[in-house]
Chain A
Amino acid sequence: MMPASPATAKSNKPRVIAFAALLLAVCALPFLVSNYHTFQLTLVLVYAIALLGLNILTGYNGQISLGHGAFYAIGAYVAAILMDKFGVPYWLTVPVAGVVCLAAGFLFGLPALRLEGLYLALATFALGVSMPQLLKDRHLEYWTGGVQGIVIMKPDPPFGLPINQDQWLYYFTLAVMLVMFLLGWNLLRGRVGRSLIAIRDQPIAAEAMGVNNALYKSLAFGVSAMYTGVAGALGAIAVQFVAPDSFNIFLSITFLVGIVIGGLASIPGAIYGAIFIQFVPNIADQISKAAPWAIYGVFMIGFMYVMPVGVAGAIRMALARIRRKAGGIEQHSG
């Protein structure tokens, strides 16, 4: 690795400054907008975590899941049941939900090992469609609250901080999100990420080169479910309510829309996608109840034709073009 020349050192600094400025802006937001908008932004953060989870599995590892709403639901219900039936503090339910979903995802990933592309999509589609029914099952009613679901209380800010509940939830979620994104970034830019991508693109070659496909694929499922489960728990706390019909196949499809629009195999893509799936329905709802999904459908198909790399990919290509032009100018003048 060559030592960083003055040129690259210079190009790193603006990036760090930009990132710090962004972080500052993000932290300031709750004080600049209404409580309702803060709540919406909290959901953006929640969805970003869920989308990163799905992206790890589908974007980086190529395993198509049309059923991630199920893991979101499991995370949400774990948090709700722990808080409602066992009085567990809200902040503890998040890691517990993560662990439960890690196990659930890994277990689902094991039989899924034998399923390729379309067949895995089919199996996960079945999971997504049947989830609400499973949640309404009579035998689980005591825990799940059946069709009515479970209502949970909004947590108060700790240590008597001078902010309201919505603002505290925003920062709490933000903190979790930053931790999970850092974790994910670390995981994906190193050997693990490269192995996942190798398995996605050339599975036989990857195996031949010593990558344990089965282990990585099952772990990818588990980690992906963990992320989405954590998001589910955070989402339940923010919304203060879980009910079976909120976790139907359309939730799973929403997540798919998110990573397609945001950009597959991209970490910032999870954020762009989350913004899209949180705000587009809000705006489109005013036109008609059916409009959000019609828009989703058109965007999904359109993006596959026109922008298969998603918003993140488009931004990356645009930046690369700008940098090349800038680099060319430097060369001429230097």
Chain B
Amino acid sequence: MDAFLNQVFAGLATGGIYASVALALVMIYQATHLVNFAQGEIAMFSTYIAWTLIDAGMPYWPAFFLTVAIAFVLGVLIERIIVRPVEQAPVLSVVVVFIGLLVIFNSLAGWIYTYTIKVFPSPFPKEPVHLGGHFFSAHQIGAVGVTLVVLALLYAFFRFTPLGLAMRAAAQNPESSRLVGIRVGWMLALGWGLAAAIGAIAGMMVAPTVYLDPNMMAGILLYAFAAALLGGIDSPGGAVLGGFIVGVLENLLGAYVIGNELKLAFALVLIIGVLVIRPSGLFGKIHVTRV
């Protein structure tokens, strides 16, 4: 029972990471109908920035928040400079540009930091936490906690602030948004900034467990895709739920059924399965194409 609970909880911890990255993907998809293939690499690169700051002597939490801010600015700049010119271009062009970004960030990290893995610190204590008769990793609890706080803040931002309302409006109906004076282009840039910031947080939460290296986020990105599709690629709530489901399923299947080596194949099967059986996911909208 202990082992099972531990697997479930570990699944929730990684699920929180998947939920965050999936949310970032859905935020960009909602506004642009584009899937940001470079999301994982941008998050990985941001984590390296945090590592640089900490390595230079900055204490953890200041480095954490500074990294989040830098990632935000990075996201805004990428949207304004690189993505904006191809926003209206055919799908293949946009995919190529995103893959190009993926590749640039991956190689940039490899070039600056080399491919040897680095240790990334966790702000949470190393000793396991004793709760209700079971032991849990403090980092896992902390990671889940951070994820939930981030998600709550985001929800409050979109639901209760004027800027959040404007961003939602711009994503849903750019033309009407212009007619009420919303600068839609900047809303898009803000969305990218937020997505990059969320990705950075996810990267910093996962790095202590899997060690920091340029290919750290590749598998996570795949799971995040699976989670976003499962929840419904245009449903933020669905993406979050999907993330937790995928995390728990992955852990349970890996521990009891398919073994750890085939975990990525699980993501592949899940992605294809969702796309073929129910493309709109659990909570997404069904799109009708009119001739």
Q: Is the CB of B276 within 8 A of A111?
A: yes
A216 within 8 A of B: no
Is A115 close to B, CB under 8 A? yes
- Complex interface: chain B residues within 8 A of A62 (CB): 92
Mark out the residues of chain B between 61 and 119 whose CB falls within 8 Å of any chain A CB in the assembled complex: 82, 85-86, 89, 91-93, 95-97, 99-104, 106-108, 110-111, 115
Contact B100 A290 (CB under 8 A): no
Structural contact, A119 and B265, CB atoms closer than 8 A:
no
A58–B91 Cα distance when bound, in Å, is 11
Are the C-beta atoms of B100 and A129 separated by less than 8 Å?
no
The residue that A304 contacts in the complex, of B86, B107, B263, B267, with Cβ under 8 A, is B86
Question: Which of A6-14, A15-23, A131-139, A225-233 lies at the binding interface?
Answer: A131-139
B113 → chain A closest CB, angstroms: 10
Q: Decide: B91 and A134 in contact? CB cutoff 8 A.
A: no
The docked-state distance in angstroms from the alpha carbon of A300 to that of B100 is 6
> Is the C-beta of A253 less than 8 angstroms from some C-beta in chain B?
yes
Asked if A189 is at the interface (CB within 8 A of a chain B CB), the reply is no
The complex places the Cα of A166 from the Cα of B37 at a distance, in Å, of 39
Judged by a CB distance under 8 angstroms, whether B291 is at the interface is yes
B interface residue count range (under 10 / 10 to 19 / 20 to 34 / 35 or more): 35 or more
Binds A, one of B144-152, B155-163, B185-193, B218-226: B218-226
Which residues from chain A contact B275 at a C-beta distance below 8 Å?
111, 114-115, 119, 122-123
Which residues in chain B, 252-288, are within 8 Å of chain A measured between CB atoms? 259, 261-265, 267-268, 271-272, 275-276, 279
Distance of A13 Cα from B200 Cα, bound (Å): 61
Chain A residues with Cβ under 8 A from B101's Cβ?
A: 297, 301
Smallest Cβ distance from A206 to chain B, in angstroms?
13
Whether A297 lies near B100 (C-beta < 8 A) is yes
Would B103 and A123 count as touching, CB distance under 8 A? no
By a CB distance below 8 angstroms, the chain A residues around B267 are: 126, 129-130
Give bound CA distance, A303 to B96, whole Å.
9
Query: Which positions in A face B, CB cutoff 8 Å?
Result: 58, 62, 64, 66, 111, 114-115, 117-119, 121-123, 125-127, 129-130, 133-134, 136-138, 204, 249, 253, 256, 260, 264, 288-294, 296-301, 303-305, 308
A-B pairs with beta carbons under 8 Å apart, 11 shown: A115-B275, A123-B271, A126-B267, A129-B267, A133-B261, A136-B261, A137-B261, A137-B265, A253-B99, A297-B104, A305-B86
> Which of B's residues lie within 8 Å of A, judged by CB?
33-35, 37, 82, 85-86, 89, 91-93, 95-97, 99-104, 106-108, 110-111, 115, 218-219, 222, 225-226, 229, 259, 261-265, 267-268, 271-272, 275-276, 279, 291
